[in-house]
């Protein structure tokens, strides 16, 4: 066993930061746990309901809510403002078409949201996020950035 005094402490690299992967930014950041990679609260940009074919039964169609959100935490691996998509299987979007239009033109303040049971998947150089539920939080953006 090596003596403790001969061990060199591990420190951060002195090289410049590598750019975040544009093809799989979440996978690149997942050298850390998911919460440290993307955070826990997000700014909702848009939401829609998709009708998709069930992968296990091609004759069956299912609904899924798809939310476009921005990373809000400054204390995570992904840069502040990174856009990600989160899907919720067998659910309809809580955002209507009219709500999307209002968000787009800035007529309403984008809500701060959190997701329950957020999971990341990566396969064939593609990635995604799934969740079981979305919750709208009653906190200002300024506070959410500090979480």
74 touches 118 (CB < 8 A): no
For 26-95, where are the E strands, in sequence order? 42-53, 61-71, 83-89
Each residue of 61-96: pLDDT tens digit?
Answer: 999 999 999 999 888 888 889 999 999 999 999 999
Bridge partners, 115 (sequence order): 134
Output the pTM of the full model: 0.74
Q: What is the pLDDT, as a whole number, of residue 84?
A: 94
Instruction: Determine the average pLDDT of the residues in 97-110.
Output: 92
Q: What is the pLDDT, as a whole number, of residue 144?
A: 83
């Amino acid at each position: 066993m090596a003596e403790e005094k001969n061990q060199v402490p591990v420190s951060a690299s002195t090289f410049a930061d590598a750019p975040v992967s544009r093809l799989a930014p979440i996978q690149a950041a997942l050298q850390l746990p998911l919460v440290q990679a993307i955070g826990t609260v997000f700014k909702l940009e848009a939401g829609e309901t998709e009708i998709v074919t069930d992968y296990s039964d091609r004759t069956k169609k299912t609904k899924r809510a798809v939310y476009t959100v921005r990373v809000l935490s400054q204390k995570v691996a992904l840069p502040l403002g990174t856009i990600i998509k989160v899907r919720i299987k067998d659910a309809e979007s809580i955002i209507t078409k009219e709500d999307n239009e209002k968000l787009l033109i800035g007529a309403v303040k984008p809500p701060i949201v959190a997701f329950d049971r957020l999971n990341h998947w990566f396969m064939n150089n593609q990635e995604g996020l799934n969740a079981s539920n979305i919750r709208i939080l009653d906190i200002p953006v300024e506070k959410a950035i500090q979480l």
